[in-house]
Structure 1
Amino acid sequence: MRVCGIRTSWNTVGDGEFFCPDCGGDRNYRRRTGRRRFTVLGIPLFPRGVAGPVIECAACHAHFGTDILDHPTTIRFSAMLRDAVHTVALAVLAAGGTSSRTVRETAVLTVRAAGFEDCTEDRLTDLVEALAADTGRFIVEPGPCGAALAIELHEALEPLAPHLAPAGREAILLQGARIALADGAYSPPEREVLSTVGGALQLRAVDTERLLAAAGTLS
């Protein structure tokens, strides 16, 4: 038997769902705080301060710092990725127009592959027209990529970027590039929008230009 030591008494102060790196998936968690006590022969005698807060996995009981909650759950991550691709597609269509059937078809295939399986050309076109009419939200002059459009892209992409590998961030940019290139070379508004996409994805400007040039060559 251990004669003396420190024992922590834990108290649950909250719960929820998170991505557990030890389990490798979404799990329930308990947010816990504790009090340390010096023990002799298992009997707690003197307080030795507080512990935590910690995040305890309800499945494997591993403890993590509270910053683990900054990582999205698998379900949340999938939704963020789907919404990011959808926003990029709408932004490219808003910049380049929806008159080209090839562009519309490419945008629909891209959005469907991201998870919006019921996406249609009419739905995308209606959204672009609605967003263009709502100048306070999406397209603001001067410039083809106005302040409101840039805000929309940053809101959709910046929270996602830290959780994506470089290849994942590049893939989102290239998906937008393929939509823009479906009817020929980039127009200046399309290039400006795609440059904004690259910046929101935390890609260096030189890398964004390299990827856009490579996409144009492959097309």
Structure 2
Amino acid sequence: MVTRDGRRRTARVAGIRTKWHTVDSGEFFCPGCGGDRAYRRRTGRRRFVLLGLPLLPRGAAAPVVECAACRGHFGTETLEGPTTTRLAGMLRDAVHSVALSVLAVGGTESRTAREAAVEMIRGSGFPDCSEEQLLALVAALRADPRGGGSLGGSPGDGADSDGVPGAAGLGLVELELREVLRPLAPHLAPVGRETLLLQGATIALADGPYQPAERGVLEAVGEALTFAPDEVARLLAAARTPS
């Protein structure tokens, strides 16, 4: 057989051919293209083919994910990773949660701390964030009914008179941080995880040294981002040192 460009192609007399069947489809991050693409998840049956005729079955082929753009085949584990669009959304939510949590436990009386939190949230992808919106969110977080009371504290939990959370409230804040940060951590490079922790530290330090509650929340952030305790301590100390 001769192709259009004049090259001679030898026909395959015998071999193994796979007949694919599409199971479902969606969008994924294609390792071949390096971006978000449509995919088809496919299963297949292998057959021995002689002179173009399928003869003997050779069992099932491993399921694959086929990119609609490059037609590359990848293992189904590629679907476990987020698309770039989803990853950007997860990162925005993480920044928002860290800023809100640090501000909630540190108190909202400091204007510099409020401004640092607003700047951080705006930079993450919420350009319309205002101090008023942030204060309303902090109030809602403190009034969250989960965890046996309010985040602002109930008698006996050590809450301050200004509504800064006591032990029960801190536990709730740390739990919510872990729910947001742990799914994100495997998809961030070390420098990205460090940046997220240091952004929270910047808010905490805006009005002076770390308060115990602020440090507790930042340690929870570091733990959720898979940093060892000594690495968290090093990063928090570095944030406190003027450059």
The higher relative CO (CA closer than 8 Å, separation ≥ 6) is in: 1
Deviates further, 1-10 or 143-152? 143-152
* Secondary structure of 2:146's aligned partner: coil
Aligned match of 1:191: 215
> Are 1:157 and 2:192 an aligned pair?
no
Percent identity of the aligned residues?
61
Q: How many residues align?
A: 219
CA displacement at 1:146 relative to structure 2: 2.9
Of the three residues 180, 199, 203, the one matched with 2:227 is 203
Aligned match of 2:54: 44
Of the three residues 93, 96, 112, the one matched with 1:83 is 93
Paired residue type of 2:24: G
CA displacement at 1:170 relative to structure 2: 0.4
TM-score of the superposed pair, with normalisation by structure 1: 0.96
Paired residue type of 1:151: L
Question: Are the equivalent residues in 1 in contact too, given 2:105–2:170 (CA < 8 A)?
Answer: no
Query: Alpha-carbon deviations, 1:119-154, whole Å to 9, x = none?
Result: 001111110111101141683755276332122101
Question: Are the equivalent residues in 1 in contact too, given 2:99–2:117 (CA < 8 A)?
Answer: yes
TM-score of the superposed pair, with normalisation by structure 2: 0.87
Of the three residues 126, 139, 146, the one matched with 1:129 is 139
Q: Any gaps of 5 or more consecutive residues in structure 2? A: 1-10, 158-165
Aligned match of 1:147: 171
Aligned match of 1:100: 110
Aligned match of 2:17: 7
Query: Alpha-carbon deviations, 1:137-181, whole Å to 9, x = none?
Result: 683755276332122101110011000010000000000000000
| Inter-partner Cα distance in structure 1 for 2:105 and 2:77 | 38
The higher radius of gyration belongs to: 2
Aligned match of 2:70: 60
CA displacement at 1:218 relative to structure 2: 2.1
| Inter-partner Cα distance in structure 1 for 2:216 and 2:169 | 6
Aligned match of 1:120: 130
Of the three residues 198, 202, 223, the one matched with 1:174 is 198
**Structure that is richer in helix per residue:** 1
CA displacement at 1:78 relative to structure 2: 0.4
Q: CA RMSD in A?
A: 1.5
Query: Alpha-carbon deviations, 1:69-105, whole Å to 9, x = none?
Result: 1111111000000000000001101110101010000
Q: Any gaps of 5 or more consecutive residues in structure 1? A: none
* Secondary structure of 1:218's aligned partner: coil
| Inter-partner Cα distance in structure 2 for 1:192 and 1:151 | 12
| Inter-partner Cα distance in structure 2 for 1:146 and 1:107 | 19
> Are 1:216 and 2:240 an aligned pair?
yes
Question: Are the equivalent residues in 2 in contact too, given 1:5–1:38 (CA < 8 A)?
Answer: yes
Question: Are the equivalent residues in 2 in contact too, given 1:95–1:144 (CA < 8 A)?
Answer: no
Q: Which runs of 4+ in 1 moved over 3 A?
A: 137-142
